[in-house]
Amino acid sequence: MNLPNYEFLSAPLWLVTALHLLTLTLHFAAMNFLFGGLIIVLHAGLRKRWDDPTLVKFVRLFPAAMAATVTLGVAPLLFLQMTFPKPVYSAAIVSGWFWLGVIGAVIITYYALYWCSLRSERTGRISRSALLLAVAGLVYVSVVYSSVFAMAERPGLIHELYAKNQSGLVFNPATGDYALRWLHMVLGAVTVGGFFVGMLGRNETVTFQTGKAYFVGGMALASVAGIAYLMTLQPILAQLMQTPASWVLLVAILLSLGSLHFFFKKIFCMSGTMLFVSMLGMVYVRHIVRLLRLGDQFRPDSFRIAPQWGPFALFLACFVIALVVVAYMLWLFFGAKRAERGDIMQSVSQETGPR
Amino acid sequence: MNYPFWDEPIGYGMLMGLIAVLHVFISHFAIGGGLFLVVTEQQARRANDQPMLGFLMKLSRFFALTTLVLGALTGVAIWFIIGLLNPVATEALIHNYVWGWAIEWTFFVVEITAALLYYYGWQRLTATAHLAIGWIYFAAAWLSLVIINGIITFMLTPGQWLANGEFWTGFFNPTYWPSLVMRTGVCVMLAGLYALLVAARYEAGQFKKRLVLQVTTWGLLGLAITAVGEMWYWRAIPSAITTKALQIMPIPMEALHTSVWLAAAIGALLVAARAMARRMPVFVAGIAMLTGLAWFGAFEMFREALRKPYVITGYIYGNGVEVALTDRYKKEGYAAQINYKTGDESADLFLHSCRSCHTIDGYHALRTAFDGTDRKFIAEIVSNAHLLKGNMPPFLGTTAEADKIAGYIYARVDQRPLAEICRAEGVDLGPKAYAVRCANCHIPGTASDKSKSFAGQSADDLNTLLDNAASLGEGMPDYTGPPAERAALVAYMQGLGKQVKK
């Protein structure tokens, strides 16, 4: 039967990959702010600082950070499914219930964050239980993601696990594949969280110092976990080092160190940019590791390329317009003239009431 | 069949339905509610209507907490669940419509940002800026519907896309516009229903009366647009689909009828709410809300079930079998195409051929269909699945594979004779035997009803008919039941014939 064949990519692979890596880095930036920030606030709270005004202020940002994390997570998932459908879906199916549980965990986390934010707004204190619940939710999500995506790199393991159990209650037993990577990611989140705490609390010595401690400490520990993870890649490490990814990794490490330098000088724009580009580099290296691990078992470049330039151009236009509109709204919110605080109704009648 | 199969106990239809209905119920409110908020805010600001602005602030918190969290995440949940339940169709959709989804994502980014800023902006922004963000929110939310509507309707009516594979041909398919109109109406209707729930919590009085009258106007207006849109939608569906649905697909048609009654109930509840506007109790709004949810559930069931036997009409069957590979399946069989194996070929064949719609004794249970039958009968039914009521996908495997599936099912059903299972004999056993052996195709009162042909037939004639069933060329199986069941069945068939005569 002569029906359209769906096994194609609707844009060149390099373009889809670039979009995937860029949007994934944006997702990581938001996720790290949230996850790292949560861990830092929790840690500070355990040191009896539940009513610290700066932390309270920070907690109020979490629901928005969660919204950004979820929203920015949609696009990379889309591009990932487009380029690696077979390994990703297969691994997700084998761990079906855990995979679906991610949604439940995120919903609980989201409401816990709103609860925490609204309560801190009302009482000036942070809800410990809500915060703990949110952290637990994010830990669950991060572990499941790590396990499923690690499984997706080993089709042989998927076959083996599926043959034994088809219920979707299989958790990737090859923890050696992902435990260190997960730890590296969590410590990376603490690093980025530290950066944001320091930046937002730049005018308050204690808060800045707290952020600095987490930024530096997190980066040191993340580096150790990262190197240890690289060592676990032994069968493909040599191959990895022969690709441009090794240079990208080196530049990413240098950029991380550079971001520390500018952070100390409180030049946050430069520090943040270097940190972001460094993350982008790490994400690229992670992508190459995935390709090397999959080898010939699954090759995204085996897809036929049949570009849909019209829809792509529309996407690009919409993307640019979206950026402009978001910037405009943020300008309205943060930059433009504000209504009188505390008496919105008064300002309403002054501005738009009947003449 | 390139993917593993998730053998969960709940049933694919049930899982998908639970997540999808909840999502559409919230996401449509996210659009209509946005319009309601900004239009009403604009009116309230012009009139310096302070109580109304207070109400809108309350509503916007409810709105943000519902749509930003549940709405957004059940949307992501749909992504997760479709990849688990039908990875082949999901892969096909992503490859064809990735830029559609990417465009929708850009609107989603704007929508989420605007929703947050609108919610947090009541006490921070000027009136003009707040309204601007409100309008941006609504525009982005509705545009996301404009996009996703193209992909949803494509799945039911891909139209000429099947011939040319063009993005826009599939996107602006035959049901695109009616569906867009209908769903826009639903958005407005749900805005009214959700707002009614918040309004109902106000104390009895003049303001509550005004509020209820206003929000029910939205509900009724939305309902009217929905009704017109739904009728247009039905007419726009190709007659090949609707005719078959009317003839042999009870599930979508019952769902459609239910949705019409529920829509009427929503209208009645909204009118009742207007009548008691001053002191309308919360439970009325609650019932209206639940009726709205039930209506959406019924409509979505109609839409999903109408696609049967496909998940993408004319392209991929509901069980993930690709229409384009029909010849290969027929030639090589199913087993050769199954990439992930359990080690039990019968189980593999059952999972990939049947299990996406049927469980053994839960959702769309096979036990009730096959208890008291035999392996040969089951194998015949499997082989001729496409002829059964419900419009099932064809079985494209080999005869030996059908027999293996039958063996798998037979081992899990009640193998005692039907008479023993039902504890019935004679006249009482007849209808039960007919239900199991005949009514999978021949539903009394429908086009497939063969009662007329029984009229005037003797028991011997009908016995001969049963003996030669397989040779009638309509995919009927040979009668393989025990003699007592056969006698009861024949007597029942004679009874059916006599009823026709009368």
| Residue B438: CATH number of its domain | 1.10.760
Query: Is B2 inside a domain boundary?
Result: no
Query: Is A257 inside a domain boundary?
Result: yes
Domain match, B311 and B340 both: no
Domain match, B309 and B255 both: yes
- Torsion, Cα A33 A36 A41 A43, to 10 degrees, reads -170
Percent of chain A with pLDDT over 70: 94
Q: Which residues contact A150 (CB under 8 A, 6 or more apart)?
A: A172, A174, A177, A178, A181
Query: Is A93 inside a domain boundary?
Result: yes
CB B418 within 8 A of CB B371: yes
Show the domain range for B336: 323-410
Cα–Cα nearest to B102, from A81, A302, A91, A146: A81
Note which residues in 44-63 of chain A have CB less than 8 A from chain B.
63
Angle A212-A213-A214 (CA atoms, 0-180°, nearest 5)?
90
Domain match, B251 and B339 both: no
Domain match, B168 and B263 both: yes
Residue B3 Cα, gap to closest chain A Cα (Å): 6
In order of A123, B372, B466, B467, B497, the CA distances from B462 in angstroms are 82, 21, 6, 9, 11
pLDDT per residue as tens digits for the range A219-246: 999 999 999 999 999 889 999 999 999 9
Q: Which residues contact A104 (CB under 8 A, 6 or more apart)?
A: none
Query: Is A139 inside a domain boundary?
Result: yes
Q: What is the CATH number of the domain that holds A257?
A: 1.20.1630
Return the pLDDT at A113: 94
Query: Is B138 inside a domain boundary?
Result: yes
Contact A4 B117 (CB under 8 A): no
Domain match, B255 and B285 both: yes
Q: Do the bridges between strand B316-317 and strand B310-312 make them parallel or antiparallel, or are there none, so unpaired?
A: antiparallel
Mean pLDDT by 10 residues, chain B (502 residues): 91 92 94 96 95 92 88 93 96 97 97 94 93 97 97 97 96 98 97 94 93 96 97 96 86 94 97 95 95 96 93 95 93 94 96 93 90 93 86 92 97 93 88 89 78 88 87 81 92 87 58
CA Rg value for chain B: 27
The pTM score is 0.92
Query: Is A345 inside a domain boundary?
Result: no
Cα–Cα nearest to A91, from A304, A297, A302: A297
Is A302 within 8 Å of chain B by CB?
Answer: no
Show the domain range for A270: 9-298
Euclidean distance between the first and final Cα of chain A, in Å? 70
B-chain residues near A167 (CB < 8 A): 6-8
Count the neighbouring beta carbons within 10 Å of the beta carbon of residue A136: 14
Contact B87 A353 (CB under 8 A): no
Return the pLDDT at A337: 59
Query: Is A343 inside a domain boundary?
Result: no
The tally of domains found in chain A comes to 1
Q: What span, in angstroms and rounded, lies between the C-alpha atoms of B292 and B194?
A: 10
CB B306 within 8 A of CB B244: no
Last residue of a domain, one of B381, B410, B439: B410
Return the pLDDT at A265: 95
Q: Identify from A2, A3, A111 which residue to disrupt to test chain B contact, counting B C-beta atoms within 10 A and taking the largest count.
A: A3
Closest B-chain CA to A349: B48
A-chain residues near B118 (CB < 8 A): none
Phi, psi dihedrals of residue B196, rounded to the nearest 5°? -65, -35
B-chain residues near A333 (CB < 8 A): 117, 120-121, 124-125, 129, 133
Residue B239 Cα, gap to closest chain A Cα (Å): 21
* Long-range contacts from A197-204, C-beta under 8 angstroms, 24+ separation: A197/A37, A197/A40, A197/A58, A198/A263, A198/A268, A199/A268, A199/A272, A200/A54, A200/A57, A200/A58, A201/A54, A202/A266, A202/A268, A204/A54
Return the pLDDT at A348: 42
